[in-house]
Amino acid sequence: MHTIWNVVGTSIPGASHFKSLLPCQDANAYLLLENGLLIIAVSDGAGSAPHSEQGSFAAVQAATRHLYNELTNAIPETHRQWGQLLLQTFNVTRQAVLDLGQPGGRDPREFACTLTLLIADHEWLVTGQLGDGLAVARTEDGALHLIAEPQRGEYADTTYFLTGSDAGDKFWGRVYRQGLDLPPVTALAAMTDGLTNLALDKSTSQPHPPFFEPLLNFPATVTNHSYAVDELNTFLASDRINARTDDDKTLVLAARPEA
Amino acid sequence: MSLLDQAEFADNPEPRCPVILLLDTSGSMRGEPIEQLNAALQQFDRELKSDPLAALRVEVAVVEFGGAARALGVYGEDTGKDVQFDASRAFVTADLLTPPTLTARGGTPMGEAVRRGLDLLHKRKEIYKQNSLDYFRPWMFLITDGNPTDQWETAAEQVRLEESRKGLLFFGIGVENADLKTLARFTPDNRPPLKLRGLAFGELFQWLSRSLSAVAHSKPGEQVPLPPAGWAEIAV
């Protein structure tokens, strides 16, 4: 029996973007394949880049499309094969963002954005990371694992983008075989930088359990997908969240129903 | 109530945006200039506090140079006292700031002030790292009305080097008869020193508080456009 995931996700503009009439520069995409594989991509467009909302959209589309094409027929069987697929996906995604500048010969940095990838089924858990996104997994034993941690430069307002010349050096991936490298995964969360300060305990650099527990229990309660997205939107736009962050916010949550 | 509303947030300290004010308090600042500067510091304090996020993120230190260079306390009992360049006492977030009242006297040891200021920033960054605090690029803001009276050349080189390493942002402001040519040896080529229009310290510090607010609100990858420097004399 293949794993079927309940998955729900959304991106909403931050309070400061409403004020300055900027579009939401975050984007997300997720896909559930018939063979039980779940693919999640989230991207945060750089605040300084005038068209970064196009960059983040192109990035999540290109990444999920490539993974869909590659994974529909055959699922990698070794850590090494997954590593190769991740690198290939990164290159294809990066090129898709760079190509946005092509028509008018524009500077690709106008489309600067980050990329966080998650791929999971009942056997594998694979993450790819460039920039300051964040991903967390909950395993059968109830433990939370930081599976993609934010990359920061020295300063709080610096990170790495797909359009950077150093993107290839900074991109990294992790391949876990469940039951071997970590216990079987029961729930996943991926998010952009807007939520990091609420989700991680900075002093320990570990996921904050009271933040993640209700969120990771949420997908199992979903009966209607669009209602669930509404509920997620309401949560992310709440005063309680806006008091802590004025940035764009993306949250994608997935869980395996009770076996 | 949605299940999502049960999510509790990690209570992390805000990232810090340190700014060191290097203020010329030499004898030539006596009278009107020092009074205007003191009034401007009070206004700076009020404006930073009026932006709740900036008030939690911007950290201020004051180094005066008049006769000798001293880091002055900016908080509680320490206010106005010589804190011996102790990086744990010299800075405070704007919400707790009490600006010292400056007095003018003596020569202009600008080189010493810059050297000590760089050292203070370096130590402050170490404190941030020890406490897992994120931080923005520090600002160093030098205001002078004269000529350095100490050995300043190596300090100028140090600050330019640090700026080129993106270790800080340095601003040089000349007042009245300040020697802008010497000041230009401290500032990076793309940010030459500016001359204050008359004694418009109030406008200068209003600009500074607005700029720091913009930095304190900035996101990764954002280049913060600074407001126009209306306080500067326009070069003809």
Name the strand (E) or helix (H) holding A18: helix A15-19
Q: Tell me the nearest-neighbour CA distance from A244 into chain B, angstroms.
A: 9
For the CA atoms of B74, B76, B77, B82, the dihedral, rounded to the nearest 10 degrees, stands at -10
- For the segment A94-111, what is each residue's pLDDT rounded down to a tens digit? 999 999 998 888 999 999
Between A153 and A118, residue with greater pLDDT: A118
Between A247 and A235, residue with greater pLDDT: A235
Indicate which of B9, B168, B222 best probes the interface with A, i.e. most A CBs within 10 Å of its own CB: B9
User: What mean pLDDT is predicted for residues B19-45?
Assistant: 96
Interchain proximity A231–B2, CB inside 8 Å:
yes
Interchain proximity A197–B215, CB inside 8 Å:
no
Interchain proximity B10–A211, CB inside 8 Å:
yes
Kindly tell me if the per-residue pLDDT of A17 is higher than 70.
no
Q: Which of residues 154-173 of B touch A (CB under 8 A)?
A: 166
- For the segment B40-93, what is each residue's pLDDT rounded down to a tens digit? 999 999 999 998 888 999 999 999 999 999 999 999 999 999 999 999 999 999
Kindly tell me if the per-residue pLDDT of B111 is higher than 50.
yes
DSSP label of A225: H
Chain B residues lying within 8 Å of A16, measured CB to CB: 217
- For the segment A223-244, what is each residue's pLDDT rounded down to a tens digit? 999 999 999 999 999 999 988 8
**In chain B, which residue's Cα lies nearest the Cα of A197?**
B12
Cα–Cα distance, A93 to A167 (Å, whole number)? 11
pLDDT band per the 50, 70, 90 thresholds, residue B120: very high
**On the CB side of A4, how many CA atoms lie within 13 Å of its CA?**
4
Of chain B, the end-to-end C-alpha distance in Å amounts to 64
Q: Average pLDDT, whole number, for chain B?
A: 92
**The complex's ipTM?**
0.85
Interchain proximity A161–B221, CB inside 8 Å:
yes
Q: Please check whether residue A151 is in contact with residue A110, taking contact to mean a CB–CB distance below 8 angstroms.
A: no
Interchain proximity B2–A211, CB inside 8 Å:
no
pLDDT of residue A152: 87
Amino acid residing at B216: A
Interchain proximity B13–A202, CB inside 8 Å:
yes
CA dihedral for A174, A175, A180, A185, sign (positive or negative): positive
Cα–Cα distance, A247 to A44 (Å, whole number)? 10
Chain A residues lying within 8 Å of B15, measured CB to CB: 156
Which 3 state secondary structure label does DSSP give B43? Answer: helix
**On the CB side of B9, how many CA atoms lie within 13 Å of its CA?**
18
Vertex B28 angle, CA B27 and B32, to 5°: 105
Tell me which residue of B50, B95, B59, B53 sits closest to A246, measured CA to CA.
B53
Chain B residues lying within 8 Å of A131, measured CB to CB: 220
Cα–Cα distance, B218 to B229 (Å, whole number)? 20
User: What mean pLDDT is predicted for residues A12-38?
Assistant: 87
Amino acid residing at A32: L
Q: Tell me the nearest-neighbour CA distance from B91 into chain A, angstroms.
A: 18
**Residue A78: partners with Cβ closer than 8 Å, 6 or more residues away:** none
Q: Where are the alpha helices (DSSP H) in B77-200?
A: 87-90, 110-130, 153-164, 180-183
Kindly tell me if the per-residue pLDDT of A21 is higher than 80.
no
Interchain proximity A199–B10, CB inside 8 Å:
yes
Indicate which of B4, B8, B56, B211 best probes the interface with A, i.e. most A CBs within 10 Å of its own CB: B4
The partner residue sitting opposite A157, judged by closest CB among B9, B13, B220, is: B220
**How much of chain A exceeds pLDDT 70, in percent?**
97
Vertex B208 angle, CA B185 and B154, to 5°: 20
- For the segment B124-159, what is each residue's pLDDT rounded down to a tens digit? 999 999 998 999 999 999 999 999 999 999 999 999
Interchain proximity B12–A200, CB inside 8 Å:
yes
Kindly tell me if the per-residue pLDDT of A18 is higher than 70.
no
- For the segment B172-194, what is each residue's pLDDT rounded down to a tens digit? 999 988 999 999 999 999 999 99
Which 3 state secondary structure label does DSSP give A151? Answer: coil
Kindly tell me if the per-residue pLDDT of A64 is higher than 50.
yes
Q: Tell me the nearest-neighbour CA distance from A76 into chain B, angstroms.
A: 35
List domains and CATH numbers for chain B.
Answer: 20-217 (3.40.50.410)
Name the strand (E) or helix (H) holding A32: strand A26-32
**Residue A81: partners with Cβ closer than 8 Å, 6 or more residues away:** none
Cα–Cα distance, B115 to B207 (Å, whole number)? 25
Interchain proximity A202–B218, CB inside 8 Å:
no
* pTM of the model as a whole: 0.86
**In chain B, which residue's Cα lies nearest the Cα of A44?**
B220
Q: Please check whether residue B99 is in contact with residue B41, taking contact to mean a CB–CB distance below 8 angstroms.
A: yes
pLDDT of residue A57: 98
Interchain proximity B5–A221, CB inside 8 Å:
no
Kindly tell me if the per-residue pLDDT of B236 is higher than 50.
no
pLDDT of residue A2: 56
Cα–Cα distance, B71 to A44 (Å, whole number)? 41
- For the segment A143-180, what is each residue's pLDDT rounded down to a tens digit? 999 999 999 888 888 899 999 999 999 999 999 999 99
CB of B3 less than 8 A from some CB of A:
yes
Paired tokens of B129? 């790292």
Interchain proximity B9–A48, CB inside 8 Å:
no
